[in-house]
Amino acid sequence: MSGARLILIGLVLLALLILAQAAYIVPETHRAVVLRFGGLIKTDVPAGLHFKIPFVDQNRNFDTRVLAMDLPVKSYLTVEQKPLDVNSYATWRIVNVGQFYRAAQGSEDRARTLLISRIDKGLRDQFGKRTMHEVVAGEREELMEELTASVDREAADKYGINVIDIRVRAIDLPKRVSDSVYERMESERLKIAQSHRSKGEELAEGVRADADRQRTVELARAFEQAEQLRGEGEAEASQLYADAYGKNEEFYAFYRRLKAYETSLATKDNIMVLEPDSEFFKYMKQSGPIAETEDTN
């Protein structure tokens, strides 16, 4: 191979190397800056094929899509000085790559650190002027909107960043506080349960007292009715006895004497001291029918 051909090949390779160093491509999702000896000479270079001075200029591409980052869980005090653990996240994107490069030295990690610091201060301020109820439910949406707008203004001015949204995933009480709250809630529930139990006992006593009163009244009425029925029965029995006595006085007397014998002589241990001619043994002495005996007498 001749020397001229080698020189030609070398020149071609050198030209290709220079061309590779001079051309650069910016992807559709990125924007670029061009540096010369470390200083910015071009900013916000759009997507496409571009050229620079080889070996002198240097390009840096930055992703301008929406990025998300999780914020560390931090504790913030409300206006009542009650601590709350807040878990949040933010979405952001680069809108001015030149300003972003100057503020964060072109490092997304440094940009995240700057945003976290600003959001942390904003959350602290927003929580510090609201009550627990307001930050948990009442004004949570308003808090997020105010914080996003405030951080976005500062980030746009200082870092060339658009903060799209800041959201709170969860708000919790610190463990030591939640334990105390749960104990207080349990104590309150026990007091409420005891109050309901006392009211129930009081109501039960009233029901029992009313039942006892009604029982006494019903027993009195039943006793009154029983006495009335007993009196009516005794009156009716007396009337029957009287009617029977009126029909056959001798038979009635004989029947009563037999009942007396039965009662008095029921057992062998009964002892009676009577004269032999006592009226008690009147019917025992008779051998004939009652009617004939009476006629004889």
HEC-encoded secondary structure of the chain: CCHHHHHHHHHHHHHHHHHHHHEEEECCCEEEEEEECCEEEEEEECCEEEECCCCCEEEEEEECCCEEEECCCEEEECCCCCEEEEEEEEEEEECCHHHHHHHHCCCHHHHHHHHHHHHHHHHHHHHHCCCHHHHHHHCHHHHHHHHHHHHHHHHHHHHCEEEEEEEEEEEECCHHHHHHHHHHHHHHHHHHHHHHHHHHHHHHHHHHHHHHHHHHHHHHHHHHHHHHHHHHHHHHHHHHHHHHHHHCHHHHHHHHHHHHHHHHCCCCCCCCCCCCCCHHHCCCCCCCCHHHHHHHC
* Ordered domains of the chain (ranges, CATH): 18-63 (no CATH), 67-172 (3.30.479.30), 248-296 (no CATH)
pLDDT digits (tens, 9 = 90+) for 211-228: 989 989 998 989 889 988
The pLDDT value recorded for residue 236 is 84
Q: Are 29 and 65 in contact (CB under 8 A)?
A: yes
The pLDDT value recorded for residue 282 is 64
Average confidence (pLDDT) over 8-14: 72
- % of the chain surpassing 70 pLDDT: 83
The pLDDT value recorded for residue 250 is 72
The pLDDT value recorded for residue 296 is 41
pLDDT over 60 (residue 293): no
pLDDT digits (tens, 9 = 90+) for 24-62: 899 999 999 999 888 888 888 899 988 888 888 888 999
Query: CB under 8 Å to 194, separation ≥6 — which residues?
Result: none
Confidence class for position 177, pLDDT limits 50, 70, 90: low
Q: Global pTM? A: 0.55
Question: Could you give the CA distance from residue 272 to residue 270 in angstroms, rounded to a whole number?
Answer: 7
Question: Could you give the CA distance from residue 242 to residue 247 in angstroms, rounded to a whole number?
Answer: 9
Confidence class for position 295, pLDDT limits 50, 70, 90: very low
The pLDDT value recorded for residue 117 is 92
